[in-house]
Structures are given as C-alpha cells and as structure tokens.
Amino acid sequence: MKKLVLPLLFLSFLLETQAQTKLPPLEHASLQFKLALKAIDQAKTKNANLVSPRSLREDTLFMVPSRDWTSGFFAGNLWYLYELSGDQFWQQKAREFTANLEREKTNGTTHDMGFKMYCSFGNGYRLSKDPQYRDILLQSARTLTTRFNEKIGCLRSWDHSKDKWDFPVIIDNMMNLELLFWAFKQTQDSLFYKVAVSHANTTMSNHYRPDYSSYHVVGYDVKTGQAIQKNTHQGYSHESAWARGQSWGLYAYAMCYRETGKTAYLQHAENIAQFILNHPNLPKDLVPYWDFNAPDIPNAPRDASAAALMASAFYELGSLVPTKAKFYHHTADKIFKNLTKKYRTAPNTHAGFLLTQSTGHLPGKHEINVPIVYADYYYLESLLRKKNLRKS
C-alpha cells in the first residue's frame, strides 16, 4: 500500500497541474495577479519609489518608477481585471496603483502620457467616473500638447539622443493620441483634436513605406519642418519591419478612425493589416518574430506583445468594418487562442505575468523572450473586447 502512495501523489499533482494549465483566461489572470501583488510588495521593500512591474530580468521582477513609459500598464491591467470579473478587490488594487501615477500629470519631458495616464486613469475614469480622475487626465492631455511643434505637425517623442535626431518622432507615439481625442470630447477644446489629427496625418505621410510597413523613428528638421532621417532604432535594420512598430500603427490608425470617422485612417489601418497578414515571414500561429526581416528566422525570438496588440486591433477593426467583421474577428480569435495555448505562463510562475516570449529591445540586448507588462495589458484588452463582442 505504501508503495502506491508516491505514484498516486505524483499522479494527483500531474492532474492538478494539467487542470491549471487549462484555466480560463480570467481565472488564470486572477491567480497570476495575486502572485504579482506579493512579488511587488517584496520588491518595494527594497525601493519604495518603484510603482509598477515591467518585466523579468534574469528571472527577477523588474520594477519601474512612475516616470517610466510602462508605469501605467499594471494599473490598467487591474482595471481590466475588475471590469472582467466584477470583483471589488481588483478595483481597490487598481485605485492603489493608479494613485501612484498622479505626479506624472505635469511631466512634460515625455510623450508617453497616453501610455502612463490613459491606460491607468483613463480606464479608471471610464469605469468609476471619479471626477478627480477626469481632472488628472485633462491636465495630462494639456501637458502632452506642450510637446507639439506646429511647423513639423507632430508631438516630439524623445528628448534624449539629441546627437542623433533634432526632433525625433516614433511610431509608438501614435498610441498617445487617444488621450487627446478623449480630452477633446470632454472639453470641446479644438486644440486637442487639431494636435492629434495633425500628428496622425504627418506620421501617415512620413513613417510609411509604399508596402505600408513603418519606420520606427523619423527625424525632423526643426527649422524646415521636413523629415530628414528615417530609422528603425529597435528593429533589425533601418529598412526592416520591426514587429511591434507595425502593431502600434495598426492599433492606432484603427483608433483614429473610431475617434474621427476619417476614412483615410481606416484605409491606412487596413493596408497595415494586409502587410502584416500577407507577410511571408508571419508564422502560422500569427505571433510574429520580433522583426519581420530578422535574419535568423525561424530561430528568431517571437514578440507576444506585438501579437497581443494585433489581436486587440483586429477585434476593433472588425467592429469598425461590418462587411469584414467575420474575417477580422476570426483573425483576432486565432491570435488570442494561440497566445493562450502556447505563450501563456504556467500558474503561480513568472512573478504573476500572463504571457511569455515578448521582445522589448533586442538591439539593446534587454527584455528578450521574457514577460513584459504591456503584453499582458493588450492581452486582457483583447479578452475584454472578445467578451463584449459576444454580448453584442
């Protein structure tokens, strides 16, 4: 009888582990974020200025202060989890992590106001209608507009690397326009709308190649307003298609169409979609390599964060284009299913992150094939959009 105990215990453990790996996404997220909260508490005992998890570096939780461009995503994750579950515990935690970011509302040294403030306070205001959140968001939007150069027609991205670019604009910056569109709807102040539309139009003209792939960075001459440099800083080469950059554009131009009704933005988003989906180097599971032109494909690292962005964008595109809804929603479902099946973390591992195999900055040699907080954010947003589609 005793000889059977260990095999039975092992079989029980194996069955329990297999059951956990098949957890529905919401249950998996709830389990993982409870682990994340414990890991965050331990990390903050070493440095109280750290407000949000960003990734794993050398298998250790990497936390960031509020000034980091990724600082708003974890608060946003908690708001999404509250919205998906209805559990007040997650609203309480979302409020705690959101409050840590308020100081950023007047930080005019960064273009990442949308990432930091709209993902956190924006979701918070949408779900709670807290008037304080509204005030903080409006101040954040006003701060963002101070980075607009009227001659160039864009919001400045980086203040660093002045030896490389006079006025750099990165494709990621398109994502911050949603905060400006929101501020316009709240106030009817045309400044917010004009800045957002100008930035979107200028980026559409200068960031995109004839095949609708995007450069990462375009450098402008402040005196003439002309685009004088076109680079791909985080990709394989200047002329390559950095995967997350393509996803930023896809998502952002679909959003711009939703906010403005301008068909040029919808057409552009659909052209980007066709570039991505028809690319010969896109894997069958639709989770892209970190760069579509990486020389070591099929052995190149994947980027689950780019795939999560794509899934969320395709859910939105399907809602915006009823005649193609079935195709776009099927594509989003396939990406989401594959992320859940093949790229999700095992329960109670990875310091509470949801997805593995994201690539942050391969040329910079950090955050390669690891969990990253914004991958989780767009994965949960995809889950929410999927759920809302079923309701409608």
**68, 172, 303, 376: the active-site residue:** 172
Q: Is 163 annotated as a binding residue?
A: no
Instruction: Please indicate whether residue 135 is annotated as part of the active site.
Output: no
Burial 160-187 (b: 16+ CB within 10 A, else e): eeeeebebbbbbbbbbbbbbbbbbbeee
- Tokens 């329990």 belong to 16
Distances (CA, A) of 267 to 166, 258, 260, 261, 314: 31, 12, 13, 11, 14
**59, 68, 112, 135: the active-site residue:** 112
Cα 358 from Cα 49, distance rounded (Å) = 26
Residues 6+ apart with CB under 8 A from 357: 287, 301, 302, 303, 304, 343, 369, 370
Cα 6 from Cα 392, distance rounded (Å) = 50
Instruction: Please indicate whether residue 112 is annotated as part of the active site.
Output: yes
Q: Is 112 annotated as a binding residue?
A: yes
* Phi/psi-derived region of residue 301, left when phi > 0, alpha when psi is between -120 and 50, beta in every other case: beta
Q: Is 172 annotated as a binding residue?
A: yes
Give which of 297, 290, 307 is closest to 344, Cα–Cα: 307
Q: Is 248 annotated as a binding residue?
A: yes
**Phi and psi torsions of 143, nearest 5°:** -60, -40
Q: Where do runs of H (alpha helix) occur along the chain?
A: 2-21, 25-44, 73-85, 88-99, 113, 123-128, 131-145, 177-187, 190-206, 243-260, 263-277, 304-320, 325-342, 373-391
Q: Is 189 annotated as a binding residue?
A: no
User: In this structure, are residues 124 and 80 in contact, taking their beta carbons and an 8 Å threshold?
Assistant: no
- Tokens 């006003």 belong to 142
Q: Output the DSSP codes for 204-252.
A: HHHSB-TTS-B-SEEEE-TTT--EEEEE-TTSSSTTS-BHHHHHHHHHH
> Which residues line the annotated binding site?
112, 172, 232, 244, 248
Catalytic residues: 112, 172
> Which residues line the annotated binding site for substrate?
112, 172, 232, 244, 248
